[in-house]
Structure 1
Amino acid sequence: MTSFYFSSGFPAGCCGDATDLLGLYLLKYHSLESNYVCGHGLGDSSNQTHAWLVCQGYIIDITADQFNDDGYELPSVIIDKQSPFHELFDKTTSRSISVEYLKGTGIPSVMAKVMSVMQARENTL
């Protein structure tokens, strides 16, 4: 069986969807509001972008390790109040995670599928 990580290239290129998915989960199942943050311009690449979540003052980044191929030494998950890596981006933009905003994307259906599988597995334990 091929793993998701190797078949999709995760985490490379998946930061936006992963961030939206995590933000929607925190909102719907834990009533935690958060912001989707997109950083622009990293190092020598003004076109480089990356997305992460800010929730209750914490930077939450579940795909940061995709930059390890570029010479960074980042953990697979970052949860911290400050992050030297995230401060390297030249510019950031942000928006609130909202059900309404994500309604036109595939994120809610992915969330529903994940929750369905998790609940089915929980019921078999």
Structure 2
Amino acid sequence: MSVDQIRQCATSVRSALEQLSPGERSIGLQQFPKGACGDASMLLAAALHDKGLGKFCYVCGLTRKDGSGESHAWLSGEGLIIDITADQFNDGMPPVFVEAESDWHGGWEDIVENSADYREWHGQGLYELARVHYLIKSRI
């Protein structure tokens, strides 16, 4: 595992998600990257796992410390913060963020962490993620 490999995978997943047509996207990805952080993070975690780049944690900040009432999800693991949708907030974050530390990510509170790979989750809608995962696998 190297940071460069993780960054390359994250960049490839981001690009593959951007290239999906609206009909190929799950409901949670319709306005990618806006409002797509949860689904995108789980798909990224699956891709990273598939490539043998590690097992990552799904991190969700339920509120911003600035009181804006927004939430956001990203991945953490291997000593890194990995985020392919932070740019949805127009705060100057890049489309793909892979770094050891982030003041911006530190600006979230009420943090919830869970397994990141959607294949370890249960519930409705996961078949949609499996379908999208299948579509992007050949593009990454």
- Could you say what the CA RMSD is over the residues aligned between the two structures, in angstroms? 2.5
Once the 2 structures are TM-superposed, how far is the Cα of residue 31 of structure 1 from its aligned partner?
Answer: 5.2
Aligned 8 A contact 1:37 1:94 in 2: yes
Shift of 1:60: 0.3
Aligned partners of 1:9 and 1:103: how far apart in 2?
22
Letter in 2 for 1:32: G
Name the CA shift for 1:110/1:11 in 2 (closer, same or farther; >3 Å): same
Matching residue of 2:44 = 22
Kindly tell me: are residues 76 and 118 of structure 1, through their superposed partners in 2, closer, same or farther at Cα, counting changes over 3 Å?
closer
Out of 53, 61, 64, the position equivalent to 2:83 is: 61
Amino acid across the alignment from 1:56: E
What TM-score do the two structures reach when normalised by structure 2?
0.69
Give 1 or 2 for the bigger CA radius of gyration. 1
Gaps (5+ residues) in structure 1? 120-125
4+ residue runs of structure 1 moved beyond 4 angstroms? Answer: none
CA contact (8 A) 2:61 2:72 kept: yes
Q: Secondary structure at the match of 2:102?
A: coil
Consecutive unaligned residues in structure 2, runs of 5 or more: 1-17, 23-29
Task: Give, as a single letter, the amino acid of the residue that structure 1 aligns with 2:35.
Answer: G
Structure 2 residue aligned with 1:79: 98
Are 2:41 and 2:116, in contact at CA under 8 Å, matched by a contact in 1? no
CA deviation vs aligned residue, 1:56-80 (integer Å, no higher than 9, x gap): 0100000001111xxx211111111
Matched-pair identity in %: 33
Count of paired positions: 112
